[in-house]
Structure 1
Amino acid sequence: MSNAIGYAAHDPSSPLVPYAFSRRDVGPHDVQIQILYCGVCHSDLHTARNEWNNTLYPSVPGHEIVGRVSAVGSAVSAFKVGDVAGVGCLVDSCRHCASCGEGLEQYCENGFIGTYNGSAFGGSENTLGGYSDHIVVNEQYVLRVSHTENLAAVAPLLCAGITTYSPLRQWNVGPGQKVGVVGLGGLGHMAVKIAAAMGAHVVLFTTSPDKTEDALRLGAAEVVVSKDKAQMAAHANSLDFILNTVAAPHSLDPFIALLKRDGTMTLVGAPASPHPSPSVFGLIFKRRRIAGSLIGGIQETQDMLDFCAQHGIVADIEMIDIRDINQAYERMLRSDVKYRFVIDMASLKADA
């Protein structure tokens, strides 16, 4: 076992505090990573505060991890000490079900093991995430990071990037398509960048008129204030695909009406309570679809990292020290970040 330090939540109502714990020894197929940066995802907040009613305490959040390989197991060939590597939202899966066999580990029929708040196979061990100084992960679930000029801004790609890239790829977004993105937050700003890089005409839908300039800078061709009925009506029946990134309950009907016949709106935001039920008539008269998508498999996540490196895509971030994580959570709730907090893990040692 190796000694680790991090920040943990110990119950739903208390702030995250420094926490010392143990990581497993590096096995033959393991990679140990010294964590340099960890993105802050809204899922971290949901979990720390048990808003999904499934948190295992103590909880060390963090699944947008980039760092440097500090040790490898005897059977590892794809990574060596000194490599820059990443870890996303999952660190294991059953590896033998149909989904795992197709490289869709996020849909593992036996349940994937989350980077945090996941019970490891074979026991009740609680996985502990990236708000820590190092992590040990099986080599099959470690990603290669090739664009390292702004490594901190690469970290959010491991969740926000793949969460938006995967549905855009699944629904074949590309040139000649008009694609809507709902919401310009941590997920939405990545969706705009990636969809634009795929060649789509991107329309950003927001409730905040003051986000127009940013949306255009990020790659949107048009910006629509979704509270303006006239602006919404101008896009009726015109969109091939919509990626809805909003993580708060809201009516889906106004966005369904924007889809062409056979168009799809895919939901990737995960609200703490359900959306109002949509009208069936908005779906059946145009054969429209509502779908969902969950992160991405390991190979697809690697493809996303390579795509983003090729196109020079990273997240827009604000760097914080680990001691400021509780204030960052409160600011996230107010949407007071453009567009992703990233923890400089060097601050963890300074805080110790």
Structure 2
Amino acid sequence: MTTVAAYAAPRAKAPLERTTIERRPVGEFDILIDIKFAGICHSDIHQARDGWGEGIFPMVPGHEIAGIVAETGPGVTRFKVGDRVGVGCMVDSCGTCDACLMGREQHCAEGNTQTYNALDRNGEPTYGGYSTHLVVTEKFALSIPEGIALDEAAPLLCAGITTYSPLRRWGAGPGKKVAVVGLGGLGHMAVKIAHALGAEVTVLSQSLRKKDDGLKLGADHYYATGDPRTFEELAGTFDVILSTVSAPLDFGAYLALLRTEGTLVNVGAPEEPVSLNLFSLILGNRSIAGSAIGGIEETQEMLDFCAVHGLGAEIEVIGAGQVNEAYERVLASDVRYRFVIDTATI
């Protein structure tokens, strides 16, 4: 075992503080990653504050991890010391179920092992990227192309794949009209990726405060959902609406913005239940769907796509000692558009 520095929530809703954790020895098919940057995802806050149910504490959040391979096990074939690598929301799966065999490890029948706030196959708690080092099996590490800076790449391991996967699955591309609800950590990547895929992109945000940013990121149009006229003007417009917000929506109002047989896809996860009038779906043969992250193969595809198109996250790099302040700023929508921890400061 190796002792490394980390930032952890000692208990639910407690401020994060500097501590040490144990990392397992490097096994035959493992790599040791010298973590350079770790993105702060809104889901880190949900989990550190027990918003999604009972967590495992002390908790070291972080599933947007970018770093350098520092050591490899004797059986490793995909990576060598010095390679640029990333780790996202999961670090293991059974590898034998139908989902895993199809490259959809995120839907593993036995449950994938989350990067943090989970128990690994040996029953030990997992600790995430707010730390200096991580040991992971090579199968769940991603190659970060040279065309993306490591700090801008870190958020792609969650925000990037969480938006890329549904945009690809529901056919965002030339001739399609895509709306992105919310211009935050997820939403700004959705705009970039949908634009690069060739879709006509509209941002739907509470106000026009970030309109200039949205247009610079690749949006063709920008509307304020706080203005009732928006829902009148855009009725029946979109093939796909991707909701990235973690607050309940008026689903009836948003579904009415879809064309016939359009789909509203949710990647944001509110802590509270939501309600839905089924006539919103029945009329117009519309659909409502959810989407998680992608599998390892699709995540690598996303990273390669972003490198080709010059896409990285819009970030604010912070020291580890600023993490609690960053959490409050995320909740206040005071970040453009992803905080990234420089782990050299841990």
In 1, Cα distance between equivalents of 2:121 and 2:289: 30
Structure 2: gaps of 5 or more residues = none
> 1:335 matched to which residue of 2?
333
User: Does residue 179 of structure 2 align to residue 211 of structure 1?
Assistant: no
In 2, Cα distance between equivalents of 1:21 and 1:282: 49
**1:147, distance to aligned residue in structure 2 (A):** 3.2
Q: 1:310 to 1:206 in 2, by over 3 A?
A: same
> 1:252 matched to which residue of 2?
251
Match runs of 1:316-331 below 5 Å: 316-331=314-329
For 1:5, what is the secondary structure of its paired residue?
strand
- Aligned-residue CA RMSD (Å): 0.9
In 1, Cα distance between equivalents of 2:59 and 2:147: 29
For 2:209, what is the secondary structure of its paired residue?
helix
> 1:289 matched to which residue of 2?
287
> 1:92 matched to which residue of 2?
92
> 1:138 matched to which residue of 2?
137
Match runs of 1:85-234 below 5 Å: 85-123=85-123, 125-147=124-146, 150-234=149-233
For 2:226, what is the secondary structure of its paired residue?
coil
Cα-to-partner distance string for 1:252-274 (whole Å, 9 max, x where unaligned): 11110010111001000011112
Q: Which amino acid aligns with 2:57?
A: Y
Q: TM-score, normalised by structure 1?
A: 0.97
> 2:54 matched to which residue of 1?
54
- Which 4+ stretches in 1 moved above 4 angstroms? none
**1:250, distance to aligned residue in structure 2 (A):** 2.2
In 1, Cα distance between equivalents of 2:206 and 2:328: 20
Q: 1:36 to 1:115 in 2, by over 3 A?
A: same
> 2:298 matched to which residue of 1?
300
In 2, Cα distance between equivalents of 1:256 and 1:336: 28
Contact 2:148 2:307 in 1 (8 A): no
**1:251, distance to aligned residue in structure 2 (A):** 1.2
Q: Which amino acid aligns with 1:19?
A: T
Match runs of 1:20-99 below 5 Å: 20-99=20-99
Cα-to-partner distance string for 1:190-223 (whole Å, 9 max, x where unaligned): 0000000000000100002111111101100001
**1:149, distance to aligned residue in structure 2 (A):** 5.1
For 1:196, what is the secondary structure of its paired residue?
helix
> 2:311 matched to which residue of 1?
313
**1:231, distance to aligned residue in structure 2 (A):** 2.2
Cα-to-partner distance string for 1:156-209 (whole Å, 9 max, x where unaligned): 000000000000011111101011100000000000000000000001000021
**1:151, distance to aligned residue in structure 2 (A):** 1.6
For 1:165, what is the secondary structure of its paired residue?
helix
Contact 2:264 2:289 in 1 (8 A): yes
**1:345, distance to aligned residue in structure 2 (A):** 0.7
Q: Which amino acid aligns with 2:35?
A: I
In 2, Cα distance between equivalents of 1:54 and 1:79: 36
**1:232, distance to aligned residue in structure 2 (A):** 2.1
**Count of residue correspondences:** 346
In 2, Cα distance between equivalents of 1:318 and 1:114: 25
In 2, Cα distance between equivalents of 1:318 and 1:86: 19
Q: Which amino acid aligns with 2:140?
A: Y
**1:50, distance to aligned residue in structure 2 (A):** 1.1
**1:150, distance to aligned residue in structure 2 (A):** 2.4
Cα-to-partner distance string for 1:280-315 (whole Å, 9 max, x where unaligned): 112101000000000110000000000000000001
- Bigger drift between 278-287 and 141-150 goes to 141-150
Structure 1: gaps of 5 or more residues = none
In 2, Cα distance between equivalents of 1:201 and 1:175: 7
For 1:179, what is the secondary structure of its paired residue?
strand
Cα-to-partner distance string for 1:10-33 (whole Å, 9 max, x where unaligned): 111321111112100001100110
Q: Which amino acid aligns with 1:334?
A: A
Contact 2:148 2:311 in 1 (8 A): no
**1:148, distance to aligned residue in structure 2 (A):** 5.0
Q: Which amino acid aligns with 1:67?
A: G
Contact 1:224 1:232 in 2 (8 A): no
Cα-to-partner distance string for 1:300-348 (whole Å, 9 max, x where unaligned): 0000000000000001011100011001001111010000000011111
